[in-house]
Structure 1
Amino acid sequence: MPIVRKSGLIRLDLSTYKRAARSIAACLLGAAGVLVTSNSWAQNAAMIEAGNQELRDDIQWLVDRGIIGYVSTSTWPIPVSVLESALEARKKTGLNRADVHAILAVRRYLDDQRQFKFGLTGQINTDSLPQLGFAAQSRGAATGGVYLQGGGDTYAGKLQLNGLLDPFTGKQSKANLEGSYLSAQFLGQALYVGQLAHYWGPGVDGSLNWGNAGTAIPGVGLQRSRQTAPQSKWFSWIGPWGYDLFLGQLQHDTAVPRARVINMRVFARPFDGLELGASRFIEWGGSGRDNGWGSFWNALKGNSNEQGPRRDPSNELSGVDFRYTFKLRGNPLTLYGQLAGEDEAGGMPSHYLAQGGVQYKHTVGATRVQWYAEGADTTASRIFGLRDGMLGIAYSHSTYQNGLYHDGLPIAHPIGGSGRMLSAGVTLIPDDFRYFSRYSVRILQAEVNEANQAINQVFPKNARWYGGELAYSWRLRPATFRAGLSILRRSAGSIENGFSLMFSMNIPLGKGERSL
């Protein structure tokens, strides 16, 4: 396929944010010294970034079957404390062998997070096919990294240095700190600073609002450290809830250098089985732009088009999503959907992009079987053919001309704007308590970049293609591995056929004693 090779948050003025952004790298480097000298390794303050497909499958199995307390699998990163508290509330009786396997898989992941350790990561993607889905993949021919992580119940951190061989786009750095962060918990909140992959939405193969196909955005985030219901009798009807507030700065943006992002998400489960979420992704400020309080306030109010093309304070994507699970013959059937408004009208989102899907989970003997089918339409207002649609609108902007792409990679859905993708797949998870192996297969069909926008450097021309992926993952504790192959075949347009062998690993080389 054609892969291209090649001011303070608010001027105060918001100069505090500018200094914070510049100091992120220094903080992360300083984390190494903090981690080495710390002698408490419980790590409830640690963060789990997007990209671990196996962990997401296990959590969804347990939540959808009502075995553990509420954990949103539609909002990443997740504080380890959220997962720990959910496991504390798990059922102790009426479990089958598949349930026990899922609990132990999550428990072992958390136990590994309780260790101070250093290690190596590696990813291979031989034909440099783009990431399509939640599972982390190399954004080039190969990626290698070294990391050091540790912490305690109050603070935690990870310092990771990565090198990238033959990246997808010329905007990507060949060295980065993706996966690095510092976090702290106080007053029931989790504060984190660093460069972690986010994923906001219930989709299996992508999010219309914020996904992990593009380079992670460095910045500062704040969440609840527990996703519990309000104690007040007046607000308990909200049910378990959480939020994620993030302030960051895009890298390597040539149209508006040092553009900021102000991203907000809130989610809740008002009754068993139903999760509701709302998200806003705002690109604002930057060199040559109005970085004052008035501009910031207009961006938050959604008062953009009314300012005129040259005074439009922001590029914004806002929307809602849901995930509803009920029992069909005793097994969880999940329906989910997401709408994201690419434009603004009267202070409300408009020109919607749409995504919807279904999941079904059951057992065959002691083997877990998880099916899904999903569709995503990233053409504004088309909504799977209900309207004609508006090409060239989604993920683009007249002022922020790099659009909602980071280093030329989509910030939101991995196919980028003005496209459509259908996908379906199945995952088999046997009761393998030794290697925790699992097998997955999926098929995909898509039309990409119908507007022929060069800002989408992964799919720079209109094309139709179909493809598939076969993957196998396993553990040789404490190391984890994932291998597979991915195929893309052209059916129309300007795109090359692709066949990529993929492999990823995380190998801890040393660890300290567990804190009890």
Structure 2
Amino acid sequence: MKVLIAAAFCVLAICSSKAIGSPWIGTQDKQLHYDVQTLAEWGYLNSAVTTYPIPWKGIAEQITMLSGEGMAPMPAQALARLSHYLAIQKRQEYRQFATLQGATDDVRFRSLDDGAEETAKLTLTSEFYHQRWSGQLAVNYASGGRSNFDNSFLAYQFGDWNLRVGSLDQFWGPGQSSSLILSNNTRPLKSLAFSRSVTTESNSPMLAWIGPWYFTTQLGQMEEDRAVPDTNLFISRFTMRPFKGFEFGLSWSAMWGGEGQDGNIGDFWDVLTLQSECVGRPSCTDEQRNQLGNHLAGFDFTYTFNLLSRPMTIYAQRIGEDSQNTYTITDNAKLIGFSTYIDSTKVFIETSDTGIACGSDNSTVNNCFYEDALYTSGYRMYNRSMGSTFDSDAKQITLGANIRFDDGAIAEMYIRSAELNPDGQLPPPVLTGAASEDVLELSGFYQRPYGNWLLKAGGSIANREFDVRDDEVDALLYLKAQYAF
């Protein structure tokens, strides 16, 4: 199957005489997504911006109408970078990349754009576009002789909609360091996706009141090496900006089917319509019935206002995993943050809590978020959470800064304090060496373009405190080098 997919991508790439890069912003440099958010927060873009990746269409037209004159340093630099990449897109050139990365150890906590995915990895990428078709073939060779096609896709655009098959890094929500429902903390999901191809206002009078909006719904399959192999995963997200500075999002994911489980179209419909079943009893009351599938759902928002001639943004995300009945969601994890700008630096503070009580607010039992009695591997792929980088039963606070320089260089720094699994029960995979841990970590990177090269160096140092063993100090360094042919 992998050989057939690779062959199909190669044939399409060769046949594409007119080609540009990805239809999404930031698939090669995730910092472009932050650039879009910066222009939106400063009021220069009118677009939904809390879902990564975000389409070029619609935003590109707004960018071409902007001028950097009179802008503050941060939005001016964001506009310059986006205009540069947009100009490359418009040249309709077939593009290829080679990316080499290495790290002294596995990166433990990943944000949208920091860390390295493997201790050693080579990626060869080809982007192409032909009329309504677009695609990307990424061949990844990792340490230990492993290989995959992560971040490869084939997409077809019709009007304001897009149909895509493949896998692509995603990040849902306004969080700067993590997302509670979908992040790129783990490898991307292989899925069939139906999405809007723009994030700006609709031309339909019936939808004008919701302002700029975006929608995606996807059906994918998780990996084979898990408690229930080949579990199916349905994910969907809708966001809108009904008035200036405010964006509201709804997200939903549901695990269902898999090896040994019912997984036909009728079962999928029962999952989508929130049906329940009686398990282990001849009959059940409404409270005893179990909902089909393992669901996570919730909302997020971001609101930006001006104070002292600069944007101030407050944002939050609330995701629940279980329910007492069809609509009363329990087990709600929370994320709250604030960000603003100081000269050429965006600073933020963010906290999240996945150590929530199971079943009700009066319960004192934890160990339920990202967990499920049937899907015992949890809401994870390849032994890493699909949501929060800190996994379940974790409280954390992060202070971060993203610094932009006139030569196109970027520096980013985080300081994190996290309390991981304090009750010592059911340790999540993010823990290594003990059942609970307090960690204080300083991490960051410096990225700079040199001609056709994009070079990045980063690392972290963490103080780890344990109850049952001596404390440790861990350090990590990584390098990335990408060449655009």
Cross-structure match for 1:489: 463
Q: TM-score, normalised on structure 2?
A: 0.89
1:18-75 deviation line (CA, Å, top 9, x unaligned): xxxxx687344311121122111244x6234668442122112111111233141x21
Aligned pair 1:231/2:207, yes or no? no
Q: For 1:236-275, what aligned pairs fall within 5 Å after superposition? A: 236-275=208-247
1:276-329 deviation line (CA, Å, top 9, x unaligned): 00000111111111113442223112334x544797531111010001101011
Aligned pair 1:102/2:78, yes or no? yes
Aligned pair 1:33/2:11, yes or no? yes
Mark the CA change 1:450 to 1:109 in structure 2 (over 3 Å): closer, same or farther: farther
Cross-structure match for 1:362: 342
Equivalent pair of 1:62/1:102 in contact (CA under 8 Å): yes
1:56 partner letter: H
Aligned pair 1:500/2:476, yes or no? yes
Equivalent pair of 1:309/1:398 in contact (CA under 8 Å): no
Aligned pair 1:398/2:368, yes or no? no
Mark the CA change 1:183 to 1:453 in structure 2 (over 3 Å): closer, same or farther: farther
Mark the CA change 1:182 to 1:265 in structure 2 (over 3 Å): closer, same or farther: same
Cross-structure match for 2:389: 414
Cross-structure match for 1:337: 316
- Runs of 5+ consecutive residues of structure 1 not aligned to the other structure: 1-22, 167-172, 511-516
Equivalent pair of 1:325/1:332 in contact (CA under 8 Å): yes
1:361-405 deviation line (CA, Å, top 9, x unaligned): 132xxxx111100001012249xxx97754110001000110011
2: CA distance, partners of 1:155 / 1:453: 49
Aligned pair 1:477/2:451, yes or no? yes
Mark the CA change 1:413 to 1:153 in structure 2 (over 3 Å): closer, same or farther: farther
Equivalent pair of 2:98/2:482 in contact (CA under 8 Å): yes
2: CA distance, partners of 1:480 / 1:455: 38
Alpha-carbon shift at residue 178 of structure 1 (Å): 1.0
Q: Secondary structure at the match of 1:58?
A: helix
Q: Secondary structure at the match of 1:256?
A: coil
1: CA distance, partners of 2:199 / 2:215: 9
Pairing partner for 1:466 from 422, 435, 440: 440
Equivalent pair of 2:107/2:115 in contact (CA under 8 Å): no
2: CA distance, partners of 1:378 / 1:449: 10
Q: For 1:23-62, what aligned pairs fall within 5 Å after superposition? A: 26-43=4-21, 46-48=23-25, 52-62=29-39
Cross-structure match for 1:174: 146
Mark the CA change 1:389 to 1:163 in structure 2 (over 3 Å): closer, same or farther: farther
1:37 partner letter: C
Q: Secondary structure at the match of 1:235?
A: helix
1:80-112 deviation line (CA, Å, top 9, x unaligned): 324423424546764345433221111223334
1:478-499 deviation line (CA, Å, top 9, x unaligned): 3212211211111234685320
Pairing partner for 1:80 from 45, 56, 62: 56
Equivalent pair of 1:253/1:259 in contact (CA under 8 Å): no
Aligned pair 1:145/2:145, yes or no? no
Alpha-carbon shift at residue 336 of structure 1 (Å): 0.4
Alpha-carbon shift at residue 132 of structure 1 (Å): 2.4
Q: Secondary structure at the match of 1:497?
A: strand
Equivalent pair of 1:147/1:161 in contact (CA under 8 Å): yes
Equivalent pair of 1:69/1:89 in contact (CA under 8 Å): no
Aligned pair 1:65/2:42, yes or no? yes
Pairing partner for 2:303 from 324, 343, 361: 324
Equivalent pair of 2:178/2:388 in contact (CA under 8 Å): yes
Equivalent pair of 2:439/2:465 in contact (CA under 8 Å): yes
Equivalent pair of 2:47/2:201 in contact (CA under 8 Å): no
1: CA distance, partners of 2:86 / 2:362: 47
Q: Secondary structure at the match of 2:317?
A: strand
2: CA distance, partners of 1:78 / 1:24: 27
Question: Greater CA deviation, 496-505 or 400-409?
Answer: 496-505
Question: Greater CA deviation, 369-378 or 74-83?
Answer: 74-83
2: CA distance, partners of 1:501 / 1:309: 51
Q: Secondary structure at the match of 1:115?
A: coil
Cross-structure match for 2:285: none
Alpha-carbon shift at residue 118 of structure 1 (Å): 2.1
2: CA distance, partners of 1:190 / 1:235: 19
Q: Secondary structure at the match of 1:128?
A: coil
1: CA distance, partners of 2:2 / 2:422: 38
Pairing partner for 2:331 from 342, 346, 351: 351
Mark the CA change 1:269 to 1:387 in structure 2 (over 3 Å): closer, same or farther: farther
- Runs of 5+ consecutive residues of structure 2 not aligned to the other structure: 282-289
Alpha-carbon shift at residue 252 of structure 1 (Å): 2.7
How many matched pairs? 468
Q: TM-score, normalised on structure 1?
A: 0.84
1:194-225 deviation line (CA, Å, top 9, x unaligned): 11111111111110001101111111112111
1:36 partner letter: I
Cross-structure match for 2:105: 127
Alpha-carbon shift at residue 176 of structure 1 (Å): 1.2
Equivalent pair of 1:425/1:440 in contact (CA under 8 Å): yes
Give me the identity figure in percent: 25
2: CA distance, partners of 1:448 / 1:50: 31
Equivalent pair of 1:69/1:85 in contact (CA under 8 Å): no
Q: Secondary structure at the match of 2:57?
A: helix
2: CA distance, partners of 1:455 / 1:77: 32
Which has the bigger relative contact order, CA under 8 A and spacing at least 6? 1
Equivalent pair of 1:68/1:91 in contact (CA under 8 Å): no
RMSD of aligned residue pairs (Cα, Å)? 2.5
Alpha-carbon shift at residue 263 of structure 1 (Å): 0.5
Mark the CA change 1:121 to 1:397 in structure 2 (over 3 Å): closer, same or farther: same
Mark the CA change 1:89 to 1:347 in structure 2 (over 3 Å): closer, same or farther: farther
